[in-house]
Amino acid sequence: MTTTVAPPGTASTTPARAPRRARRWGDHLFVLPAVLFVAATVLYPLIFNIDLSFRDVGVAQIVTGGAEWVGWENYTDQLGRDEFWHALVISLLYTGLAVAVAFALGMALAVYFNQRFPGRNLMRSLLLLAWILPTVVSANVWRWMLDGSYGLINTLLEAVGLVDGDMFWLARPVPALFAVVIATAWSFTPFIMILLLAGLQGIPDTLYEAAKIDGAGAWRRFTSVTMPLLKPVNLTALLLCFISTFKTFDTVFLMTRGGPGEATMILPIYAYNEAFEFFRFDTGAVATTLMLIVPLGLSVFYFRSLRREELS
Amino acid sequence: MTATAARRRRGWLSVGGVLITIAYLLPVYWMLATSLKDSSDIFATPPDLFPSPITLTSYTETVVNHAGIGRGLLNSTVIAVGTTVVTLAVAVPAAYALARLRVRFVALLMLLFLVVQMIPAVNLALPMFVIFSRADLVNSYVGLILANCSLAIPLAITILRPYFLSVPGEVIEAAKIDGCTTWTAFLRVALPVSVPGLITVAVISFLGAWGEFVFGLALASDEGMQPITVVLAGLTNSFGTRWNDLMAVSVVVALPIIVVFVFLQRYIVGGLTAGATKS
């Protein structure tokens, strides 16, 4: 893994000679555009959004501005709404399930493709296609494959006797949630596989040889050698995947739009609907601001795990 | 004997690997196969695993004749190229300075660029819509490129900084002794040896912007300005059960990604895991 938070030590790798004040100022011009850009396109909108969340924004005030300041009213309002809590629960359920499936599959693939055999590098790369495919495309393909009457999935499931007759996945609450979880996990699995492969390659072969001599079978070697040594990498991969999945919007939006009913109404879609369907930009701002707590909270653990990985 | 056994084992592992890969990429194959079927063949029960007869009607009639698709492809090209150019121009010098120059707050800035990538796109799309409405940037290329850059630039910096860290400091110092300024040392020494990193970042910015959906959906309500991803989402409703047509459009949307992936795959694989998240 090459993701890095600059460790404190890297400052010493810059040229050591004492810079003049003018030079040091000049060096900052290299970073200035990026800082200004992020300030203008990320930090300013975020602060603007928080400001919106404290105002009573009607349709007219979207363009003209000048919406009235109402304090915490929007927040108490939002926190009292069942729909908001429902969306939060669905979001956590969807994310948790998708991460669990993607992690289990990603781990299985990583262990398999960590073995030495001809063509493994090509196959690993090919699997990544699922990850880089635009979500709009994969969501559409999954919708077609899950079609009740003519979908490929139903045909396959009927062949092994798991489904009898037409099964309309996206029209029923629990199957719909299951369907978006599978579609999401399909995209994320190769990503997890690559992250875990990097970790697996760091485990010396001699440890497996030793375990083999001690009479450990394949499963025992996995639980007693691979898993403990992979712990820091696992943690990083899980956190990264959880954060990415939690903020995913496209897959669910394109497959179910949050339906049927509210069965797959995840927070990002809920917030989007508030603003862009019902033109309630103030409550949309509240929902997005509250939603930010989950990824930002988890990112603290993510950075810690990154640092630990670097130190080890 | 054991050598033969080991070779046979590797052979079986390869066979298993091929089967796993085929099974995993079945959705990609199914998209392609469906796009080559005619309207009656898609409703065959059980489904035909191979299109027979193979027909290009969905491409020659639907994709080519639908005005919105051409326009969407054009819009996506402009947005993705614009995002890539702006991202390179802004992120490359920044990543270089954060790796090799005397700037302050390096750790803090890198942390900022990483945290930014954890933000859901909806969180930015909502306030951007209001800000852009007031600045008359909704339904404009400038607005869409700015929105895409908001997440592409921090990602690019996180990917690029390690590349510049691997350029030996002595090389840059030597160039300076030979009379290079900080700027010319960057252009003539650091950039040429970091070309693989630059390609990685260019490819990832392009792919990200090409597949982007949320900003396009929120910031381009005018159909003539929508990127192809949003156009495709719209066709999902209007095409109904014309799955062959819908899959043909999907193939066209995926094609640039697949082509870039096939030819530049070695640049992508490292970069994908270097950045934090897919936007």
Contacts of B32 in chain A (CB under 8 A): none
- For residue A86, give the CATH number of its domain: 1.10.3720.10
Do B83 and B107 belong to one domain?
Answer: yes
| Distance separating alpha carbons of residues A46 and A49, to the nearest angstrom | 5
Chain B: residue whose CA lies nearest to A275:
B126
pLDDT tens for B213-259 read 999 999 998 989 999 999 999 988 888 788 889 999 999 999 999 89
Nearest neighbour of B126 by CB, restricted to A6, A10, A288: A288
Cβ-based neighbours of A136, under 8 Å, separated by 6 or more: A250, A254, B211, B213, B229, B232, B233, B250, B253
Q: Does A48 touch chain B (CB under 8 A)?
A: yes
Residue A68, H or E segment = strand A68-69
Q: What radius of gyration do chain A's Cα atoms show?
A: 24
Whether B127 and A49 have beta carbons less than 8 Å apart is answered as: yes
Domain boundary among B65, B86, B120: B65
Strand partners, B2: none
ipTM summary value: 0.89
* CA A280 to chain centroid: 26
> Residue B119: left if φ>0, alpha if ψ -120 to 50, beta else—which one?
beta
Q: Does A218 touch chain B (CB under 8 A)?
A: no
Interface probe, candidates B250, B257, B266, chain A, greatest A C-beta count within 10 A: B250
pLDDT tens for A279-293 read 888 899 999 999 999
Q: What is the pLDDT of residue B65?
A: 83
Contacts of A292 in chain B (CB under 8 A): 119-120, 123
Nearest neighbour of A5 by CB, restricted to B21, B107, B118: B107
Task: For residue B227, give the nearest of B236, B216, B219, B218 by alpha carbon.
Answer: B216
In a domain, A239, yes or no: yes
Does residue A55 sit in helix, strand or coil? strand
Contacts 24+ apart (CB under 8 A), B58-65: B58/B244, B58/B245, B58/B247, B58/B248, B59/B35, B59/B248, B59/B252, B62/B242, B62/B245, B62/B248, B62/B249, B63/B245, B63/B248, B63/B249, B63/B252
In a domain, B279, yes or no: no
Task: For residue B17, give the nearest of A194, A124, A103 by alpha carbon.
Answer: A124
Q: What percent of chain A has pLDDT over 70?
A: 91
Decide if B247 and A140 are in contact by the 8 Å CB cutoff.
Answer: yes
Chain A: residue whose CA lies nearest to B91:
A34
* Sign of torsion over alpha carbons B109, A306, B275, A275: negative
pTM of the full structure:
0.88
Decide if A127 and B24 are in contact by the 8 Å CB cutoff.
Answer: yes
Beta strands, E only, A139-255: none
Do B15 and B72 belong to one domain?
Answer: no
Q: Which domain holds residue B93?
A: 68-274
Do B132 and B270 belong to one domain?
Answer: yes
Decide if A292 and B119 are in contact by the 8 Å CB cutoff.
Answer: yes
Decide if A295 and B118 are in contact by the 8 Å CB cutoff.
Answer: yes
Decide if A33 and B257 are in contact by the 8 Å CB cutoff.
Answer: no
Place of tokens 């607005």: B143
Q: What percent of chain B has pLDDT over 90?
A: 46
**The tokens of B272 are what?**
């994908």
* Sign of torsion over alpha carbons A33, A35, A38, A39: negative
Do B51 and B140 belong to one domain?
Answer: no
